[in-house]
Amino acid sequence: MKIYLNDYDTETLEKAESLLFNGNGFIGLRGNLEEAYYDHFSTNRETYINGFYETKDIHYPEKMFGFTPTGETMISVIDGQTTLITIGGERFSITEGTISENTRYLDMDKGITVRSLVWTSPKGRQTKITISRLASFQYKNLFSLKLDFERMDHQEKIELTTHLNFYPVRTIDKNDPRMSHELQKITVKEIDLEAQRCTFGTAYSQLEAELIWSIDNQTIEQKVEEERIVIRTKLEGDSYQKNLSYAFQEQTHEGIERSFTELVQAQASYLADFWKSAKVTIKSTENLEESVNYSTFALLQSLGTNGKTSIAAKGLSGSGYEGHYFWDAEMFVFPVFLHLNPALAQQLLTYRYCILDKARENAQLFGYQTGALYPWRTISGTESSPFFEGGSAQHHINADIAYAFIQYYRYTYDLAFMAEYGFEVLLETARIFTEIGYMKNGTFHIDKVTGPDEYTVLVNDNYYTNQLVAYQFEWINRLAKRLQEQYPEAWARLTTKLHMTEEELQQLAQIAETMALPFDEEKGIIAQDRDFLNKGFWPYAKEETQYPLLLNYHPLTIYRYQISKQADAVLALMLFPETFDKATIEKSIAYYDQVTTHDSSLSYSTFSTVYSRLGQVEKGYEYFIKNARTDLDNSHKNTKDGIHTASMGGTFMTIVYGFCNLRVVDEKLTITPNLPKEIEEIDFYTYFKNEKYRIYVNHHEYWIEKQVEGNR
């Protein structure tokens, strides 16, 4: 399985930096051209460590009580990709001489990126150059780069110069609030050229990491310049290998002396095992299999797997959204690994438990008396959103995280995990809603929160939030009963630790039954919130409107109208299809489709899934393609800032939950597929109750088959 990006036009080079990134969940290096260009196109030349960040004060002209005081930003660590090539005194460049036989691709079976070309220098010398790179899944600390040379008509000497750049090179759009406009930098603490070691850290977050390097050819010179370490090397044969090892927190230096061949073999072995369960086979009129499996691979490269990190909105491919973790991780990425590799999915949940104490502190910052409020955007667990209306007011993140824990249990039946981690998260996040909500005339209301639609803020009774909270409260009581019966000692511990009473559980059960779920009887649709349907419609014609709205209109202008950034009420339709009759779903999605801009990459997959379940597969497929090709086609024009991990997770979700309509009903897996004409068949695996199942769907038959050892 390969993804090719062969062209050297500006748009391809910019998006290739993100699409061809090398990552393993711990480190991520953008797919920059090794010989380094700074003037010919927009570039973000950076390397990241998952969980490595700097803090900064947030400055408010008028700061009020409870405003987030500091923010976190993922910053680039020392970037060692740059490798300047000099052949017979001529510096290799794609802008000088001529390039032929050019190819550049990601090999998802081997886990490497490869770039191969023939360069005819200005003096006419021809050299074939092949550059291979990987971020090792076996040694998470390790990035390796190998260059192979074939002198086609000469025997000139080749010299290579490595730059270990202390600071990133970044092109910043100062008009885009989704990007960090402040270029935070590391602090270099100690350099030991003889030991080939550099220690660096951060000024304010007080984090420290270390880079060591190893080069397999004769070093001519090593020196420290103001912004980099420079290492000149004389090529002794026909190949050159550079290994970079990053140590941070528990991650130590391993495998630094491994050859590239050994690393590729280990990488291919790891991925062969991964793809046995993770590969999705699709026969279609378009190359959908490429999109789906690339999405899964990109998510794997970005997924924190140590229980102390998660996955950022841009993964480890770029610095968009400052490297923050959002609700995307639980609602759009988690389902992918829940089906394909539950052990990896569990690590996302473990991270949320790991920062539960910080969520408790965050609740106190808001003035809440009990419970935990997870930050809207974070890295370490501290709230980093300065914009509470469209950010930290999205308290649904508590219920999103709870929903992920519940789905983990429904698919794995891992009650021990819920006893150790999950139940505590569910109860503490629930307590926020019992505090801010209230009972009136026998109905429970939650006011002044923001739902997923960031173009409609501080609303009363957001349908999505309320539905999810009711579901959470119902499952708290279900799990309480099972824990009392099967894990009485753990239950006793939880009761004491959380100061939990039977009265509190009864209160949650009552709220679940009386939750306000706004519905418009005249239109026959669910209402996004109590007031959304009373607002006027967007006054500008579609062809006159500039998108995305957040970059072209004042927030107050946007807030006044029935205009949605992304799926909100429709997301409730997707998560709880059994709650609604078909007519309600049909009318609701038709209505909200007319008022949704899809300015968020999270939106298309949700609409696609709901349309597909309804049997409206033409519309479902239309949105599926838009979502699946978001980054490959650069449809939002910002792939250069990093991939859209939520969109990639949504691609898998539409295949599984939409076209195949996979559900758990009465504790059993069921499918009732609706395939569009463009898709002939779908074949994939999922795990359920610690068993592996193969699911096959075409236009004539479909089945679920439990796998035994030796099956495909």
Question: Which CATH code of 3.40.640.10, 3.40.250.10, 2.70.98.40, 1.20.810.10 fits the domain covering 2-253?
Answer: 2.70.98.40
Query: pLDDT grade, residue 181 (50/70/90)?
Result: very low
Query: Which residues, in sequence order, are CB contacts of 649 under 8 Å at separation 6+?
Result: 295, 299, 328, 332, 333, 334, 335, 336, 605
**Average pLDDT for 10-22:** 92
Q: Report pLDDT digits (tens) over 188-230.
A: 999 999 999 999 999 999 999 999 999 998 889 999 999 999 9
Query: pLDDT grade, residue 711 (50/70/90)?
Result: low
Closest to 262 (Cα-Cα) out of 115, 147, 136: 136
Tokens 């021809």: give the residue.
126
Q: Which two tokens stand for residue 520?
A: 């418009």
Q: Report pLDDT digits (tens) over 252-276.
A: 999 999 999 999 999 999 999 999 9
Q: What are the backbone dihedrals phi and psi of residue 130, each rounded to the nearest 5 degrees, phi first?
A: -125, 125
The percent of residues above 90 in pLDDT, for the chain, comes to 88
Going by the DSSP 8-state scheme, the letter that residue 657 receives in this structure is: I
Report the alpha-carbon distance of residue 709 to residue 24 in Å, rounded. 28
Reported as half-sphere exposure (CB side, CA atoms, 13 A), residue 160 has a value of 28
Please, is 620 exposed, middle or buried when counting C-beta atoms within 10 Å of its C-beta (0-12, 13-18, 19+)? buried
Q: Biggest alpha carbon distance in the chain?
A: 89
- E-strand ranges in 53-141 read 53-57, 70-74, 83-87, 90-91, 98-107, 112-120, 126-135
CB of 117 within 8 A of CB of 128? yes
Say if residue 584's pLDDT is above 50: yes
DSSP string for residues in 119-158: EE-TT--EEEEEEEEEE-SSSTTEEEEEEEEEESS----E
CB of 108 within 8 A of CB of 297? yes
Return the number of other C-beta atoms located less than 10 Å from residue 302's C-beta.
Answer: 27
Query: What is the per-residue pLDDT for 637?
Result: 81
**Average pLDDT for 312-325:** 96
Beta bridge partners of 247: 210
Query: pLDDT grade, residue 183 (50/70/90)?
Result: low
Binding-site residues for substrate, in ranges, read 327-328, 565-566
CB of 36 within 8 A of CB of 82? yes
Report the alpha-carbon distance of residue 645 to residue 671 in Å, rounded. 26
State the chain's mean pLDDT as an integer: 95
Query: What is the per-residue pLDDT for 712?
Result: 47
Report the alpha-carbon distance of residue 626 to residue 494 in Å, rounded. 46
Query: What is the per-residue pLDDT for 709?
Result: 66
Q: Which residues are catalytic?
A: 454
Tokens 């740059």: give the residue.
82
End-to-end CA distance of the chain: 18
Sheet of 281-284: strand order equals: 281-284, 679-688, 691-698, 702-706
- Amino acid identity of residue 540, one-letter, is Y
Query: pLDDT grade, residue 180 (50/70/90)?
Result: low
Query: Which residues, in sequence order, are CB contacts of 545 under 8 Å at separation 6+?
Result: 538
Q: Which two tokens stand for residue 174?
A: 């100062």
Q: Which two tokens stand for residue 644?
A: 């859209």
Element (H, E) at 239: strand 239-248
Element (H, E) at 396: helix 396-412
Element (H, E) at 490: helix 488-498
pLDDT top residue among 63 and 202: 202
CB of 515 within 8 A of CB of 444? yes
What's the predicted TM-score (pTM) here? Answer: 0.96
Question: How wide is the angle at C-alpha 359 spanned by C-alphas 358 and 365, nearest 5°?
Answer: 90
Q: Report pLDDT digits (tens) over 410-435.
A: 999 999 999 999 999 999 999 999 99
CB of 230 within 8 A of CB of 161? yes
CB of 181 within 8 A of CB of 173? no
Say if residue 171's pLDDT is above 70: no
Tokens 């990133």: give the residue.
168
Query: pLDDT grade, residue 350 (50/70/90)?
Result: very high
Q: Tell me: cis bond preceding 548? Omega within 30 of 0 counts.
A: yes
